[in-house]
């Protein structure tokens, strides 16, 4: 069963590290919604209409008012059969959260929140140009729980220059105390085009030492494991049974339809991505012009992706799924597999091949070792 992703390309200010497509001019919001509604209609029939998950991401979807969300929802209902829906997520910003808004979200049908918090330390929040404070974030989480959003995830970031171990521990501890059931914790990356990246290139900041990265990751794992979280993917942790169904869908190679500017889709071995430009998105859709690019995956691409996505999850690559590839791929796979098992980086367990915990931080290297280029 497929997933649907909707990209809301607005933020009220840009965070220093962020390279997601969003703009801070909210003027075009209604035109955007019109275009989005039109795209939803255009894309009917692309996947099986019995969808399992819907995910509103961004940008900052919580900048949309109830009525605006309703318009989008109605458009989706026209096209998809909602009776099999299991998870409907919206990303929210802590300072958009009010009891009233939470009620609206519930009423519309959302059953899961993903809250971008990043840190429970004001100094770091300011450094990253976040628009909320630590206290506000805590209150937002509590309000959400009161409103009945038990299924809630929060995002955290580590590996931030000049963040002390103490500050990182404090952030993790706070998250645990707040008793959320899902945490996505990302190591900061310097993405081209972001203010952070520019500062890196101008030597105003430098990346933290590998050793510190590893130690912060280990702190995270240790703390979350003792708080009964499973690390089901490199950056994702949850209490038993609360894996993000929508994201898991990406990693297991299932279909998804991405709507809105910059959104990605995957259907029938074809990847598609919409333009990362709201103006073009709106004009091209209204003038019935092409507003996306596509790529059809070759056997080599599929092979590389299966390994890439599989090895990032704690379950690993399902070995039987490899049998569908041609012999040359299989031979290469077996050889690299053996080599990495011998080097104690990978382990084979119950039909799955997975990265050992000690080597998790080298996952990219291990993946690219398997790649056929």
Contact in structure between 84 and 52 (CB atoms under 8 Å)? yes
Span interacting with another protein, options 64-72, 118-126, 175-183, 209-217, rule CB under 8 A: 209-217
Angle between helices 327-342 and 299-312 (to 10 degrees): 30
Q: Which does 290 bind (CB under 5 to 8 A by kind): ligand SF4, another protein, none?
A: none
Q: Which ranges constitute the DSSP H helices of the chain?
A: 29-42, 66-79, 99-108, 122-127, 134-146, 165-177, 195-201, 210-226, 245-251, 278-286, 299-312, 327-342, 363-370
- Rounded CA-CA distance 120/30 in Å is 34
Interface of this chain with another protein, residues 215 to 244, rule: CB under 8 A = 217, 234-235
Quote the DSSP letter at residue 297. Answer: -
Interface of this chain with another protein, residues 60 to 79, rule: CB under 8 A = none
The CB-of-58 to ligand SF4 minimum distance in angstroms stands at 5
Residues 6+ apart with CB under 8 A from 349: 316
| One residue of 263, 278, 285, 322 binding another protein per CB under 8 A | 263
Residues that bind ligand SF4 (CB under 6 A): 11, 14-15, 18, 20, 22, 58-60, 93, 116
The CB-of-132 to ligand SF4 minimum distance in angstroms stands at 10
| One residue of 168, 266, 281, 333 binding another protein per CB under 8 A | 266
Residue with tokens 């998790």: 360
Q: Note whether 23 binds another protein by CB under 8 A.
A: no
Q: Which does 116 bind (CB under 5 to 8 A by kind): another protein, ligand SF4, none?
A: ligand SF4
- Rounded CA-CA distance 262/258 in Å is 8
Chain residues in the site for another protein (CB under 8 A): 5, 7, 20, 57, 185-187, 189, 210-211, 213-214, 217, 234-235, 247, 250-251, 256, 258, 263-266, 271, 273, 295, 301, 304-305, 308-309, 312, 360-365, 367-369, 371, 373
């Amino acid at each position: 069963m497929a997933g649907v992703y909707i990209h809301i390309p607005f933020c009220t200010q840009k965070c220093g590290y962020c390279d997601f497509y969003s703009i801070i001019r909210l003027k075009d919001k209604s035109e955007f919604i019109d275009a989005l509604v039109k795209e939803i209609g255009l894309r009917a029939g692309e996947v099986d209409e019995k969808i399992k998950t819907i995910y509103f991401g961004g940008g900052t979807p919580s900048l949309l008012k109830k009525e605006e969300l309703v318009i989008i929802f109605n458009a989706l209902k026209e096209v998809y059969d909602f009776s099999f829906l299991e998870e409907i997520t919206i990303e929210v910003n802590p300072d958009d959260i009010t009891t009233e808004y939470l009620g609206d979200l519930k009423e519309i049908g959302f059953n899961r929140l993903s809250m971008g918090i990043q840190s429970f330390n004001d100094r770091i929040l300011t450094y990253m140009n976040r628009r909320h404070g630590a206290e506000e974030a805590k209150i937002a989480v509590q309000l959400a729980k009161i409103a009945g959003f038990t299924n809630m995830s929060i995002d955290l970031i580590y590996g931030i220059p000049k963040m002390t171990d103490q500050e990182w521990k404090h952030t993790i501890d706070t998250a645990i105390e707040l008793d959320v059931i899902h945490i996505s914790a990302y190591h900061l990356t310097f993405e081209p085009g972001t203010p952070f990246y520019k500062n890196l290139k101008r030597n105003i900041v430098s990346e933290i030492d590998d050793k510190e990265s590893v130690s912060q990751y280990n702190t995270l794992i240790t703390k979350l494991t003792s708080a009964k979280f499973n690390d089901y993917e490199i950056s994702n942790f949850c209490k038993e049974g609360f894996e993000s169904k929508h994201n898991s869908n990406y990693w297991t190679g299932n279909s998804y339809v991405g709507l809105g500017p910059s959104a990605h889709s995957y259907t029938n071995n074809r990847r598609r991505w919409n333009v990362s430009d709201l103006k073009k998105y709106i004009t091209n859709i209204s003038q019935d012009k092409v507003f996306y690019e596509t790529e059809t995956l070759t056997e080599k691409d599929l092979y590389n992706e299966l390994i890439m996505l599989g090895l990032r999850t704690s379950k690993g690559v399902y070995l039987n799924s490899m049998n569908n590839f041609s012999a040359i791929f299989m031979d290469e796979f077996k050889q690299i597999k053996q080599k990495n098992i011998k080097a104690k980086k990978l382990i084979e367990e119950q039909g799955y091949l997975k990265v050992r915990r000690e080597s998790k931080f080298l996952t990219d290297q291990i993946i690219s070792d398997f790649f056929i280029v």
